[in-house]
Amino acid sequence: MKMINWFKHNWDKLLLIFVFAGAVFIRVKTYGNPFASIGMNDTPGYIESAQQPLLSWQFFTSQRPPTVPFLYKIFQPQSGYELKAVSSPAAIGKRVPLSIQPGFTSVVFSQMLLSILGWCLLVWVVFKNLKSRPIRLAAALLILFFAFSPQLADWDMVLSSESLTFSLFAFVLALTIELTHRLTRQGAAISPFTWVLFGLWFLSFIFWVFTRDANAYMIPVTLILLVVWLYFVLRNKNKRGLIGTGLVIIFMAALLFFQQTTMNQSTRWEKPFIANLIGNVLHYESRLEYFVKQGMPYSEDLGKAIRGGVRKDDYTNFPEFMTWMKSKGVSTYTRFLMNNPFWAAWVIFRDKDGFFVTNLQPYFSADSNTRPAWFETVGNMFHPLSSVIILIDLLLTGVILLVALHRPEKDIVAWALIFGWLFLGEILLLFVSYHGDFYSQNRHVLAALVPMRLSMWLLIITISDIALR
């Protein structure tokens, strides 16, 4: 009888174990050799950055953000890395097959492992914080199909920042969901394990922020959420919560300050800045005039050197321009965007459909040795190619916020805070990723598009769960 009662109350958890096992088996077995990889134009920069002393100032101010170089540093063999297979989709005929590259086998395998762990953790957290058992299982299947489809899994084989960006985001989102639900339930009586989870969340957030510089702009949105939470803490006169929330706000502000300082003192923003000048400034007389008025040295020879591109680096032969760019370039371009908010928003609206026209990595072509063709078709169902996702996210986020106002139950309020944080963060990530670098915009905006696609499914799941109560 006890066994029957146990099964009656836990059949969904038991089924989830089989779902996990099947999904991980499919993920590992259907993508060919888990040690095969492909390099891209940014890969040599990660290798070079990994040569800097760990946790030194040079490590944080090198030409690439430190998270990916940290991974390369951990697994660097004594013989070093030998990058033999490099693909450049912007150049016709440069796609090359996946291959076993000396030194990179541990890196690419760890990318796959972190992806599996991150997405499985997200599945478990969403599962345990939903009420309806059928919705729980549907959520598990949906998220796992979303995560292990080629649209995401292919990136685990590319030696770039995308794989860690997506997997660390899964860790951050999972811990954010769990912590928000725990804090709304526990109130003043915060358990020691909740503090442990916060430590893991902060660590995951740090690694995610330093995967791509644009990710740091999620910090201001997080600070907004913390200020909202601080309001509830003050209203309930929760002294422990007040101290804890205050410390978190300080830590997050310090993280933003440190990230911005190290980025500005590095050289990794210089080529994106030049690309933005080429694409958004030099071809427009009024915009060029604005930058000249802001102190930018300019001449016909300098303009020709800049238009020569970021690979020739001819602009570095103009010392006055280099001095101005290093001291005032980023701040000037930021003011340019702030002074032209309608244009900055309109170009994103204009190009939004172009962001969604593809959802697959462009670095290697799939064949029977990498993954079955049917998996790509299935993946397109979970990674839609339409920009209407943005509107759907906005409408569904509004729905759950209204539900939280009319039914302020603890778990509904938690979901409302989470989805509000997600939507604001996704919009800001889209803006910064698009305007951060004129080149490779479709790849850069994936940092926002993947969360947007995921949010749509999570919103549908959560609203369905609330409606079925």
pTM: 0.93
Distance CA 386, CA 391 (A): 10
Give the CA distances from residue 242 to residues 230, 248, 330, 370, in Å, rounded to whole numbers and listed in that order. 7, 10, 36, 52
Lowest mean pLDDT among 17-21, 138-142, 192-196, 460-464: 192-196
4 located within any domain: no
Count how many domains the chain has: 2
| C-alpha dihedral (336, 338, 341, 344), degrees to nearest 10 | 50
288's tokens: 């060029």
Considering the domain architecture, whether residues 251 and 297 belong to the same structural domain is answered as no
pLDDT in tens, 232-270: 777 766 666 677 778 888 999 999 999 999 998 888 888
Q: Which residue do the tokens 């086998």 mark?
A: 105
Bigger pLDDT: 176 or 365?
A: 176
Bridge partners of 38, per DSSP, are 158
Percentage of residues in the chain having pLDDT higher than 70: 94
Considering the domain architecture, whether residues 242 and 309 belong to the same structural domain is answered as no
Considering the domain architecture, whether residues 240 and 325 belong to the same structural domain is answered as no
Considering the domain architecture, whether residues 129 and 245 belong to the same structural domain is answered as yes
User: At 368, is the pLDDT very low, low, confident or very high (cuts 50, 70, 90)?
Assistant: low
Residue-level pLDDT at 311: 75
Considering the domain architecture, whether residues 423 and 293 belong to the same structural domain is answered as no
- Which residue segment(s) compose the domain that 321 sits in? 270-339
Q: Indicate whether 6 pLDDT > 60.
A: no
346 located within any domain: no
350 located within any domain: no
Distance CA 227, CA 420 (A): 13
Q: What is the mean pLDDT of the chain?
A: 89
259 located within any domain: yes
pLDDT in tens, 426-449: 999 999 999 988 888 888 899 999
18 located within any domain: yes
Considering the domain architecture, whether residues 131 and 229 belong to the same structural domain is answered as yes
Residue-level pLDDT at 87: 85
Considering the domain architecture, whether residues 131 and 194 belong to the same structural domain is answered as yes
Considering the domain architecture, whether residues 332 and 283 belong to the same structural domain is answered as yes
Domain boundary among 339, 368, 390: 339
Distance CA 265, CA 327 (A): 10
Considering the domain architecture, whether residues 281 and 248 belong to the same structural domain is answered as no
pLDDT in tens, 120-170: 999 999 999 999 889 999 999 999 999 999 999 999 999 999 999 999 999
Q: Indicate whether 192 pLDDT > 90.
A: no
Residue-level pLDDT at 95: 66
Residue-level pLDDT at 94: 62
pLDDT in tens, 339-361: 999 999 999 988 888 888 888 88
247 located within any domain: yes
pLDDT in tens, 318-343: 989 999 998 888 889 999 999 999 99
CB contact set of 169 (below 8 Å; sequence gap of 6+): 118, 208, 450, 451
353 located within any domain: no
Considering the domain architecture, whether residues 369 and 282 belong to the same structural domain is answered as no
287 located within any domain: yes
Helix (H, G, I), strand (E, B) or coil at 170: helix
Q: Indicate whether 392 pLDDT > 70.
A: yes
Considering the domain architecture, whether residues 237 and 291 belong to the same structural domain is answered as no
Considering the domain architecture, whether residues 242 and 276 belong to the same structural domain is answered as no
